[in-house]
Structure 1
Amino acid sequence: MAELQQERNVYDVLMERGLIKQTTHEQEIRELLGKEKVTFYIGFDPTADSLHVGHFMQIIVMMYMQKYGHKPIVLIGGGTGMVGDPSGRSDMRTMMTKEVIINNCNKFKETFSKFIDFSDGKAIIDNNADWLLELNYVDFIRTIGRHFSVNRMLTAECFKQRLETGLSFLEFNYMLMQSYDFLELHRRYNCKMQFGGDDQWSNILGGVDLVRREMGDQVYGMTFALLTTSEGKKMGKTQKGALWLDPNKTTPYEFYQYWRNVEDADVKTCLSMLTFLPMDEVNELASLKDAEINKAKEVLAYEVTKLVHSEEEAAKAQEAARALFSGGGNLQDVPKTQMPASAFEGEGMGIVSLIADLKLVSSKGDGFRTIEQGGLSIDDVKVTDTKLMVTKDLFKDGKILIKKGKKTFHLVELI
């Protein structure tokens, strides 16, 4: 990491990069991180079988902390995942079976090993199922529940926004469980800090308070800015859904293209928060104007794809993107869907149905609008007829390249 200087305090580095949002004790935290190697934790509930780019923000923070000598605990929520975090939700999460949760936990473990060094005790990975699933409910409520004021809990943002639509008692327990995690990790590993996204602020405060009440020890909490656009919208959402870290769910090319296509105003935020480039270089790239800003977007896309998928995959994605933008070249790494030739026999398939099936558009209505506005082409020929039927004779060597707008490509291959 080019800018790593051991004499710098990691707190200052995270602050400079715009990552820190809130702290429980700002001055004390900065002093603590400057004078000793701190064990800290971030929790990840296994709500899917892959981590997504929102989690990657937390991973970047753990990587920075570890590079400055601090010890991360990756806490996988095999226990809290049984309940579901109401934070940032307008409705209750779908309940998952134990089997699904265990499978998701195992997938998470594989992913973290790509980013965090667990050798020689440099980091810890644990699962809160180990202590939460065996708790005696009455004992838990007597020892832990007595410390929580319902009145104060109801003022927490994660609960307050749900009171009108309905908050289940199941979800109401979540804050107690996450707070208990901090207590348990403090007992087991002398864990002194909990980090999380800013939507976790209320839960983190609960944990800090519980450790103080139960053990009389001072621990600390810090939240990080959520990755949002300059307009305040959460980043990492595509027409297909979340931007996943698993290459089987979001290909390296699709991942690269997402960052290559961010808005000009978001380039500095993404370079600051999602890469290890020195801030001098970040500021220089972000200052580029007009067409030159595309150079910065290429650097951003390459750097983030390299971190998540490897240098080799980042280079392949960049080469494929450049080739397509220049009109031709290697299609090997372009998103591809294989479809049976029989689907295009006879009258064939309607173009709107095809691009909707490929998820190039969000709906058939969106498909009609895209064509009417001149935003779709097949093999560089603009599609003007919304009722066009795609037949086998349109395929050259069994392939067609569909282009939506200026930047989205999809190869259809007959089988």
Structure 2
Amino acid sequence: MSTDFFEELKQRGLVHQTTDEAALTKQLNEESVKLYIGFDPTADSLHIGHLLPILMLRRFQQNGHVPIALVGGGTGMIGDPSFKDQERQLNTLDTVMQWSQSIKDQLSRFIDFEDQTNPALIANNYEWLGELKLIDFLRDIGKNFTINYMMSKESVKRRIESGISYTEFAYQLLQAYDFLNLYDEHGCLLQLGGSDQWGNITSGIELLRREREVQGFGLTMPLITKADGTKFGKTEGNAVWLDAEKTTPYEFYQFWINTDDRDAVKFLKFFSFLSLDEIAAIEKEFQAAPESRVAQKALAKEVTTLVHGEAAYEQAVHISSSLFSGDIKELNADEIAQGFKGVPTYQVEATDDLTLVEILTTAHIETSKRQAREDIQNGAIYINGERQQDLAYVLSESDRIGGKYVVIRRGKKKYFLLTF
């Protein structure tokens, strides 16, 4: 176990707040510590906003500690009010349980539940929260907290003006109860979370102190902000998911390769397992020649490989270089589907025997046949990356990539996808 582990976390910028840092550092340096992070199932997949905490569990495991991934099957039925402007929509038990299973499957890609020396653990808080009796909970847990204490939490204070339901107000007690259960079951002494979780984490530490007379610890990670002021984890307004069905590996790769120069090195420290020395060398090279985008390339490679595997990373690079060079025919059908997800698409019947002019107008690529003829003659129309200036050209089976896709480009950047 590395005695420099906690110091490295700080150098990477991964530590925002801790409770009793000296005691926590001593504990981490002297013994294997059990720690947990909770993931509430608010969708059927985690997204890159969850990636920092997931990778923290992995970092702790690699340094000899035992991570517990807690899926919030119970708390997910309520919804955490922390730094949310309004109450979450409540989901059914069936929905939350399905999402919980999906999240459990995703987490197993990042942390090792089979490790011989310190296997990670997984738990679902519905197991104990689903069995709770209200009277017992109020008497045994509620008695430990004053309303004043609960109201002092930033996550609650921010919502008092606009209104907070009792359901959400009680959330911090449920999270505190999770910590107590994980201590009783597994000897868990450390809870990690985003900086918005500080109030919930300290409530759990307070409950451990009062009910078990033990010192628990809390550590929060910084809230990630992008240099341009836009929200981290979104691209064109949509969440970047860890599920390849929801965000393709190519889209995922593109998110990281397009990282702002001001963020690239910081994100390498957050999201990669490259050593600080390796990152320093990349930073030096990057500062000498920012146009090389060496930091973004390293970041996109590390994170895409971590989440989707090496083959998916290499495929994403291949799609990117083929699109950049315009060599569309180099791509297979799966790569076309990834690379052109979201572009205007037109379904062509295989029996349609349309000329290029007719295709362009029928698929609404051109507004009129006159405009279509003009653009073809002027060399503005490309089929699968190759300029086509024949007005009588008819698409044939040989034009279909993988038997089902034809990519039409108008001008420099307007892409359209024909599917057969």
| CA-CA distance at 1:233 after TM superposition | 3.9
Uncovered stretches (5+) of structure 2, i.e. residues with no partner:
353-357, 368-379, 385-392
| 2:362 equivalent in structure 1 | 348
8 Å contact 2:381–2:411 — kept in the other structure?
no
Alignment TM-score, normalising by the size of structure 2: 0.82
**Paired amino acid for 1:413:** L
8 Å contact 1:399–1:414 — kept in the other structure?
yes
Q: 1:28 to 1:100 in 2, by over 3 A?
A: same
| CA-CA distance at 1:294 after TM superposition | 1.3
| 1:364 equivalent in structure 2 | none
| 1:89 equivalent in structure 2 | 84
| 1:261 equivalent in structure 2 | 258
| CA-CA distance at 1:251 after TM superposition | 0.4
**Paired amino acid for 1:336:** F
**Paired amino acid for 2:221:** F
SS state at 2:293 partner: helix
2:279 is equivalent to residue 282 of structure 1: yes
| 2:94 equivalent in structure 1 | 99
SS state at 1:20 partner: coil
Which piece of structure 1 moves more, 151-160 or 41-50? 151-160
| CA-CA distance at 1:291 after TM superposition | 4.4
8 Å contact 1:335–1:411 — kept in the other structure?
no
2:268 is equivalent to residue 271 of structure 1: yes
SS state at 1:92 partner: coil
2:308 is equivalent to residue 316 of structure 1: no
The one-character-per-residue Cα deviations of 1:106-158 (angstroms, maximum 9, x if unpaired) are: 10111111111111561110000000011010110111111112222222221
| CA-CA distance at 1:324 after TM superposition | 2.0
2:167 is equivalent to residue 170 of structure 1: yes
- The CA distance in 2 between the partners of 1:405 and 1:275, in whole Å, is 35
| CA-CA distance at 1:349 after TM superposition | 5.2
SS state at 1:297 partner: helix
**Paired amino acid for 2:224:** L
Q: 1:37 to 1:276 in 2, by over 3 A?
A: same
| 1:335 equivalent in structure 2 | 339
| 1:212 equivalent in structure 2 | 209
| 1:374 equivalent in structure 2 | none
8 Å contact 2:383–2:406 — kept in the other structure?
no
| 2:406 equivalent in structure 1 | 399
| CA-CA distance at 1:414 after TM superposition | 1.7
Alignment of 1:45-124 (within 5 A): 45-119=40-114, 120=116, 122-124=119-121
8 Å contact 1:272–1:282 — kept in the other structure?
yes
| 1:130 equivalent in structure 2 | 127
Which piece of structure 1 moves more, 393-402 or 175-184? 393-402
The one-character-per-residue Cα deviations of 1:345-368 (angstroms, maximum 9, x if unpaired) are: 695355699xxxxxxxxxxxxxxx
The alignment of Structure 1 onto Structure 2 pairs a total of residues equal to 375
| 2:418 equivalent in structure 1 | 413
| CA-CA distance at 1:231 after TM superposition | 4.3
Alignment TM-score, normalising by the size of structure 1: 0.83
The one-character-per-residue Cα deviations of 1:236-282 (angstroms, maximum 9, x if unpaired) are: 10125111000000000000000000110000111000001111221
SS state at 1:161 partner: helix
8 Å contact 2:35–2:191 — kept in the other structure?
yes
- The CA distance in 2 between the partners of 1:102 and 1:393, in whole Å, is 52
SS state at 1:223 partner: strand
Uncovered stretches (5+) of structure 1, i.e. residues with no partner:
1-5, 354-376, 382-391
| 1:305 equivalent in structure 2 | 304
- The CA distance in 1 between the partners of 2:257 and 2:383, in whole Å, is 21
**Paired amino acid for 2:247:** T
- The CA distance in 1 between the partners of 2:58 and 2:260, in whole Å, is 26
The one-character-per-residue Cα deviations of 1:216-238 (angstroms, maximum 9, x if unpaired) are: 11010000112221245431101
Which piece of structure 1 moves more, 338-347 or 117-126? 338-347
8 Å contact 1:394–1:400 — kept in the other structure?
no
8 Å contact 1:336–1:413 — kept in the other structure?
no
| CA-CA distance at 1:95 after TM superposition | 0.8
CA RMSD in angstroms, aligned pairs only: 2.8
**Paired amino acid for 1:72:** P
Q: 1:403 to 1:118 in 2, by over 3 A?
A: farther
- The CA distance in 1 between the partners of 2:130 and 2:81, in whole Å, is 19
8 Å contact 1:52–1:245 — kept in the other structure?
yes
* Moved >4 Å (runs of 4+): 342-347, 349-353, 377-381, 392-398, 401-406
8 Å contact 1:285–1:293 — kept in the other structure?
no
Q: Report the structure number with the largest CA radius of gyration.
A: 2
8 Å contact 1:39–1:189 — kept in the other structure?
yes
Q: 1:73 to 1:401 in 2, by over 3 A?
A: farther
- The CA distance in 1 between the partners of 2:408 and 2:225, in whole Å, is 32
- The CA distance in 1 between the partners of 2:325 and 2:280, in whole Å, is 28
Q: 1:403 to 1:324 in 2, by over 3 A?
A: farther
Amino-acid identity (%) = 40
| CA-CA distance at 1:26 after TM superposition | 0.9
| 1:225 equivalent in structure 2 | 222
The one-character-per-residue Cα deviations of 1:332-390 (angstroms, maximum 9, x if unpaired) are: 4243356422799695355699xxxxxxxxxxxxxxxxxxxxxxx97599xxxxxxxxx
